[in-house]
Chain A
Amino acid sequence: MMNTEHSLSAILPMQIVMITGMLVLLLDSCIPAWRNAKILSPGLSLIGVGIAFLSSLHILNNPPVGKLFGGAITADPFSQACSIILLITAALAILIAMTYLENMDLNHGEYYCLVLFSTSGAMIMASALDLIVLFIAVEILSVALYVLAGFARTKVRSEEAALKYFLLGAFAAGFLLYGIALIYGGSGFIGLNPTTNLAVIGKSLSMISQPPAMMIMGLGLLLVGLGFKAGLVPFHMWTPDVYEGAPTSVTAYMAAAAKIGAFAAILRVLNAFIPISGYWLIVIEVIAVLTMFGGNILALTQDNVKRMLAYSSIAHAGYLLVAVAAACNSGSKQSILQQATAHSSAFGAAAFYLLSYSLTTIGAFGVLIWLSKRGRDIQTLNDLKGLARTDPAAAYTMLIFMLSLGGIPPTMGFMGKWFIFNATMQSGQTWLALLLGVASIISIYYYLHVVWVMCFQEPEEGTHSVRAESANGVQTSIYVAVGSTLLFGILPNLVQPLMDAASSLLRP
């Protein structure tokens, strides 16, 4: 009984987020939507997210001892770091949605509870130590996101996005589950009771020389499933359509939260499999290169900003995968100490990059939301023509987000890329680091293209000029994003505790 309470208190942040979601759900069914969805539901959600943030910080400072739920879940600093990034993302997503939903006539309280449910799913993904828990977490995250993608239920594009995401996501969930089954079976071959517990598997893998083939196959299928959620290149096809079709606030949230959850899970899973990294590291490296170049090259020709940002998010997944490859590289002729340093600095870099990516992506989509008027969605580059004249504030914030996404100082994106580059060099994968540099140089073209359209083109005749309406929620979240992008870009040491927490994930 004591043990249960101990375990329950260690997953308090997720419980808070989930209970808040349920309260929002009840609130929505009790009070007519037009009254509460404006302020009550988002307010309640923000309060819940805030409390969860505080309790997550508390757990980060006082990590619980012993196994939680028989070792199925952990509350280590890595999971809390991911939870903190996720909660920041969720808060920003709730803020940017407030006016947007009203403008698009989508003002249902379900939006906020779905955001909260999927946040809790992603948080569980970050803390799952058992593959079955991981699967349930992926489903909690995904099912809420499927519904969110089709949230504009009167728009065909949104419906299409939801259906596409749902069908492909169900397919990917099948891969994930097959992979888990094979790993479960394979773990029986290495002298264990068959288990899906990552900690146990990792520990016993480090003691054997030859892993069973079943386990390698299972890991491959697992990577397919998680790679789908993260939008890595061979499994990225859904990304542009879903990002374009879904309501913009949902896209912003989805781009950030799903990626954080998926990369937290990828890092944790692959961390357990480091002892057999000789079998799969090259696959990760190849996928990383494909993802970086595929995303960036496909983004070059887009004239729809949402679609362009979708492809850019694929490219960013590639950069993150480079960090993963750096963290898991143990094959090179380096000393154990050097390996350990590279490992921890790569984890820190990944955490920093996840934070910078989610802040900038939500900011960039937030600017689009800020500009969208009642019933009109800003999507294409044409809509942004001459923005610097009509609305300089929106244009210059967009400029900063584009610079950060492109990795140009003095922004957070630059520091993130620098950390990843550094970690990759440390781990001895020089070629990967160089390819990362080349890919980011390609990406600068299309990011600066947006800036050029905004600043150096005349507004089109005939269309009414775009001007941002005053909207407190969106403005708050954009200014928070801009401020932190610049602040952490100049003083990255402020994020050091988070990076330390993330890099404390030990090698098995």
Chain B
Amino acid sequence: MASSYLPILVMIGVATAVAVAMVVGSFLLGPKKPNEYKSLPYECGIIPVGSARERFPIKFYLIAMLFIVFDIETVFLYPWAVTYSRQHLAMKMFYFSEMSVFVVILFVGYFYILGKGALDWDESERTPNTDVITPEIVAKRPKIRFGNEGSGPVDLSKVPIGPRLPVYGASSQEEFQSYERQNSYVPYTRSEKLLK
């Protein structure tokens, strides 16, 4: 009934009032001292470079399109779900089989996009571009590793104990240089080890 929606409208009105009160309150109470630097976009204290409204990955469009498809399928399921449990046995079997057909077709599409890699955000998992198809391209590529992912626990006993290795950054480099001047230390690198 329409009248039962009235309290919801009142609720939305109250929520809007709260939002307006928040904005107006801070507008009235807060100071207003704008200056040039305050109005720059925040980029970690650096002067911003270029516009922020740049092109962004096409993945997001793909996700949006797939969402539209699957959301509409989900919306189809709602009326079915509401009326399903109160059906007679024969009718319920019919409902079940009809919706099974629908969902099977949905799953065909789902497995297609899954197989085509439309849902792979990580490029290394994707099957390669099949426009030019050679076995070399199809050969499995190594998975990209992120950081020390999958490397397991570090065995601290194997970490060499010695003079501190250089750390990057201005102050630490200065520190290292002074240390080097004192001890005439030559960093121990892997390539030199291999040469020996």
Contacts and interface: CB of A to CB of B under 8 A. Distances in A.
19 contacts: A1-B90, A1-B94, A26-B108, A26-B111, A26-B112, A28-B112, A29-B111, A29-B113, A30-B115, A32-B127, A32-B130, A32-B133, A33-B130, A34-B130, A34-B134, A34-B135, A34-B138, A105-B133, A154-B131
A29 B131 contact: no
B164 to A, nearest CB: 51
Nearest to A21: B108
Interface string B106-124: 0010011111100000000
B116 A29 contact: yes
Given A1-B90, A34-B138, A29 B132 contact: no
A107 B133 contact: yes
Query: For the side of the interface on B, what is the size category?
Result: 10 to 19
Interface of B: 90, 94, 105, 108, 111-116, 127, 130-135, 138
A32 B115 CA distance: 9
Given A29-B113, A34-B135, A34-B138, 13 more contacts: A25-B108, A26-B108, A28-B112, A28-B115, A29-B111, A29-B114, A29-B115, A32-B138, A33-B133, A105-B133, A106-B131, A107-B133, A108-B130
B96 to A, nearest CB: 13
Contacts of A30: 111, 115
Contacts of A26: 108, 111-112, 115
A330 to B, nearest CB: 43
Interface in A1-27: 1, 22, 25-26
Given A1-B94, A22-B105, A29 B112 contact: yes
Q: Name the residue among B90, B115, B134 with the largest chain A CB count within 10 angstroms.
A: B115
A25 B111 CA distance: 9
Interface string A28-59: 11101110000000000000000000000000
Contacts of A32: 127, 130, 133, 138
Interface of A: 1, 22, 25-26, 28-30, 32-34, 105-108, 154
Contacts of B127: 32
A29 B133 CA distance: 15
B130 A25 contact: no
Nearest to A32: B138
B131 A105 contact: yes
B131 A25 contact: no
A34 B108 CA distance: 21
Contacts of A154: 131
Contacts of A25: 108, 112
Nearest to B134: A34
A131 B45 CA distance: 64
A212 B115 CA distance: 53
A154 B131 CA distance: 9
A29 B119 CA distance: 13
B90 to A, nearest CB: 7
Contacts of A106: 131
Nearest to B107: A26
Closest 3 pairs between A and B when the two form their complex, measured CB to CB = A29-B115, A34-B133, A33-B130
A299 B135 CA distance: 45
Nearest to B115: A29
A302 to B, nearest CB: 31
A487 B115 CA distance: 45
Nearest to B90: A1
Nearest to B131: A105
B103 to A, nearest CB: 13
